[in-house]
Amino acid sequence: MVWDSAEVDWAGYRLAVLRSPWDYPSRRAEFVAWAETVPALANPADLVRWNTDKRYLRELAAAGVPTAPTTWLDPNADWNDPPATGEYVLKPAIGAGSLDTGRYDLANVEHRQLALAHVKRLHAAGRQVMVQPYLSAVDSAGETALLFFAGPDGLRFSHAIRKGPMLLGPDYGAEGLFRAEQISPRTPEEAELAVAERVLAALPGGPGRPLYARVDLIPGPDGAPVLVEVELTEPSLFLAHDPGAAERFADAIAARVR
């Protein structure tokens, strides 16, 4: 069922599982308001509200979770003093699928001008902008996404995948609802599992509430994993990349219904 369909009686379902509402960034207020009308929504509406604005990263950082360093630019704040050198990622605080996201070498005059234009474009649309140092380890190690599904005692690790680097340069726009990804199976390291567990423990209400969660990590400058995003609303779960993953997800749904 499509989330904004007026023909669906959402209150009539024992469980409604969010999967791919990737059109929400341009309609977030409407989407969150809809979520609050679905009594049996997984994940619950308050988690949807919290997770669809990446300012949640500030809360997780304050709770001691290692996160990518971020500068937040409000729509009414000009970016008058960007760093003189270094590669940086610009993206909206409310967004999905790596859309409206670009990578800029600020020592390059053209990149610098494009970065400033990127910020102005997002600000003109009333969107808050995130500025993060580009984590170069993604070019070699890639990004690790760890998938967790609900079990009897809270979220349990199911499987993990590797994402290849996606940001090759400035944002010139992209068609569709998400950028194409390079995906392969991955066995996470103990340090990655440990950071993911810290992320889940810091979720609002604790790790026992979500039906599913995805934790995305990239090695920081010292090689230790840092959180890029925690996905509780509409993550791809990459079920085809691990034998038994689809069955584990089905078991979690069946147990939640019971």
What's the mean pLDDT in 64-92?
91
> Mean pLDDT for the chain?
92
What is the topology classification, in CATH, of domain 71-133? Dna Ligase; domain 1 (3.30.1490)
Residues 71 and 62: their CA atoms lie apart, in Å, by 15
Contact 64, 199 (CB under 8 A): no
Report CA-CA distances (Å) from 55 to 146, 229, 244: 21, 10, 34
Contact 210, 232 (CB under 8 A): yes
Opening angle at CA 109, ends 67 and 89, nearest 5:
15
In this prediction, residue 182 carries a pLDDT of 79
In this prediction, residue 81 carries a pLDDT of 83
Q: Given a cut of 80, is residue 161 above it in pLDDT?
A: yes
What's the mean pLDDT in 234-253?
96
In this prediction, residue 77 carries a pLDDT of 82
What's the mean pLDDT in 220-238?
95
Which is more confident, 79 or 189?
A: 189
Report CA-CA distances (Å) from 135 to 15, 23, 98, 125, 169: 39, 27, 15, 27, 14
Q: How far apart are the first and last CA of the chain?
A: 21
Residues 6 and 213: their CA atoms lie apart, in Å, by 28
Q: Given a cut of 60, is residue 178 above it in pLDDT?
A: no
In this prediction, residue 96 carries a pLDDT of 80
The CATH homologous superfamily to which domain 137-257 belongs is: ATP-grasp fold, B domain (3.30.470.20)
What is the percent of the chain with per-residue pLDDT over 90, rounded to a whole number? 79
Q: Given a cut of 60, is residue 179 above it in pLDDT?
A: no
Token digits for 213? 């969660």
In this prediction, residue 63 carries a pLDDT of 96
pLDDT band at 98 (very low <50, low <70, confident <90, very high): confident
In the chain, the largest separation of any two C-alpha atoms, in whole Å, equals 59
pLDDT band at 165 (very low <50, low <70, confident <90, very high): confident
Shared fold status for 71-133 and 137-257: no
In this prediction, residue 131 carries a pLDDT of 95
Give the start-to-end residue ranges of the domains of the chain.
71-133, 137-257
In this prediction, residue 6 carries a pLDDT of 92
Residues 230 and 215: their CA atoms lie apart, in Å, by 5
